[in-house]
């Protein structure tokens, strides 16, 4: 390797490797410690974390292969092992995306077909030594993977809304730059260029990779919960109730802007909450005697999610009504409860001192809900 390339390329490559591991690790951290695993679409964070870890490890092995190994037999073993790592990472990534929640984004049949193609191509790369054939297989694999991922992200961006859409767009753009950076220094690709062009491509690869990684990090920083599609459209109402006197502290009507508004379901909900809030006194009793944090009660086609406030706010009950049964609503009622308790904590602790006519102070919580709905 040319000495000047060693001086300029290797330090940036090491930075790129460290950055890549940080990005992959952060994806896994978000999934295991920050996201809600009951929201199955959050598995996309896990999928990307796994993919990044395998891709960056492959680049690390290729770096050892390029700069440190001189024995041809060892280089061949390491080279083939790098192909195996790429296959395992891609296969795990596709396996996660082939699960049922992602079928609305990309057909599971297509995902499994791409995974089978990846397996076949990986076996061919590890068993056939012909350079021209390997280049053809690699270009074919990159083309298939590129088309699949671009289509997957396009569908995802088209379906997603609000902050999630913006974040996915940033992650997609960053991933494109990262992949181009990886391709620019892949031995199988640059070997078809002149030596001078090889040096230029390798020197250009790291800035592309680092810039792409920065964009990915901006997209994933404080990544919001990835809830099921159409979760907003089936929401009905949210209530906060004082258990001591059964007075309504706060309520929000989601149905005003919902295209799925259904008068029949609204009638069912009103029956549940008939005679003011006294009609749900039995619900309070049930919640008080259960260890579950959230109780889900089915009422016709609607669902009632009930959660008692955390200590020292256990004199408060939170109720979320929806026209559908989605795991996203378990996350949502917890989110609403935590935000309400955090916003009005000092008032809720001394709620018995607050006159009923002053309950209008809680109306400002509309802004919090509208922020979540964006």
Q: Tell me the pLDDT of the chain (374 aa) as tens digits.
A: 455 555 566 777 788 888 889 988 988 888 887 666 667 778 888 888 998 999 889 888 877 777 776 677 777 777 778 778 888 888 899 998 888 878 888 898 999 999 898 888 888 877 777 777 877 888 888 888 889 988 998 888 887 776 778 888 888 898 888 888 877 777 667 767 777 777 777 777 878 888 888 898 888 887 777 777 778 788 888 988 888 777 888 889 887 655 545 554 455 455 555 544 444 555 555 555 555 567 777 766 678 888 888 888 888 889 898 887 777 888 889 889 999 999 998 888 888 888 877 888 888 898 888 888 77
pTM (two decimals): 0.69
pLDDT at residue 50, rounded to an integer: 93
Is 302 in a helix, a strand, or coil? strand
Residues in contact with 8: Cβ distance below 8 Å, sequence separation at least 6, in sequence order: 203
pLDDT at residue 309, rounded to an integer: 87
User: Which residue ranges make up each domain of the chain?
Assistant: 3-220, 231-373
pLDDT at residue 196, rounded to an integer: 74
Distance CA 199, CA 184 (A): 10
H/E element holding 210?
A: helix 195-220
pLDDT at residue 113, rounded to an integer: 92
Decide: 209 and 183 in contact? Cβ < 8 Å: no
Decide: 200 and 180 in contact? Cβ < 8 Å: no
Residues in contact with 234: Cβ distance below 8 Å, sequence separation at least 6, in sequence order: 258, 260, 322, 323, 324, 326
pLDDT at residue 180, rounded to an integer: 84
What is the dihedral angle through the alpha carbons of 81, 83, 84, 90, rounded to the nearest 10 degrees? 150
Residues in contact with 67: Cβ distance below 8 Å, sequence separation at least 6, in sequence order: 1, 6, 10
pLDDT at residue 275, rounded to an integer: 42
Is 214 in a helix, a strand, or coil? helix
- Look-up of token digits 């083309």: 143
Q: Which CATH superfamily is domain 231-373 in?
A: Dynein light chain 2a, cytoplasmic (3.30.450.30)
């Amino acid at each position: 390797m040319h000495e000047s390339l060693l001086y300029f390329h290797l330090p940036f490559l090491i930075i790129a490797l460290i950055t890549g591991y940080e990005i992959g690790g952060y994806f896994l951290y978000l999934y295991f410690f920050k996201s809600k695993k009951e929201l199955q679409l959050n598995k996309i964070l896990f999928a990307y974390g796994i993919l990044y870890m395998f891709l960056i490890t492959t680049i690390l092995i290729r770096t050892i292969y390029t700069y440190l190994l001189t024995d041809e037999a060892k280089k061949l073993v390491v080279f083939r092992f790098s192909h195996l790592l790429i296959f395992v990472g891609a296969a795990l990534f596709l396996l996660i995306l082939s699960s049922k929640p992602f079928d609305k984004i990309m057909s599971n049949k297509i995902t499994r077909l791409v995974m089978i193609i990846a397996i076949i191509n990986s076996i061919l790369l590890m068993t056939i030594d012909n350079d021209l054939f390997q280049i053809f297989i690699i270009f074919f694999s990159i083309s298939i993977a590129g088309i699949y991922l671009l289509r997957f992200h396009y569908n995802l961006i088209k379906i997603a809304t609000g902050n999630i859409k913006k974040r996915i767009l940033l992650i997609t753009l960053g991933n494109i730059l990262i992949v181009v950076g990886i391709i620019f220094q892949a031995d199988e690709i640059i070997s078809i260029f002149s030596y001078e062009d090889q040096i230029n491509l390798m020197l250009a690869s790291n800035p592309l990779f680092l810039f792409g990684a920065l964009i990915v990090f901006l997209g994933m920083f404080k990544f919001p919960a990835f809830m099921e599609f159409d979760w907003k459209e089936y929401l009905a109402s949210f209530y906060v109730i004082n258990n001591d006197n059964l007075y309504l502290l706060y309520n929000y009507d989601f149905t005003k802007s919902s295209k799925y508004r259904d008068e029949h379901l609204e009638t069912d909900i009103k029956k549940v909450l008939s005679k003011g809030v006294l009609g749900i006194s039995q619900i309070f009793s049930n919640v008080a005697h259960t260890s579950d944090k959230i109780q889900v009660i089915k009422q016709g086609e609607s669902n009632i999610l009930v959660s008692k406030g955390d200590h020292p706010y256990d004199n408060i009950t939170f109720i979320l009504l929806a026209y559908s049964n989605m795991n996203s609503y378990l996350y949502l009622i917890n989110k609403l409860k935590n935000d309400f308790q955090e916003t009005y904590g000092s008032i809720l602790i001394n709620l018995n001192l607050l006159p009923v006519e002053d309950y209008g102070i809680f109306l400002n919580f509309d802004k919090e809900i509208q922020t979540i709905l964006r």
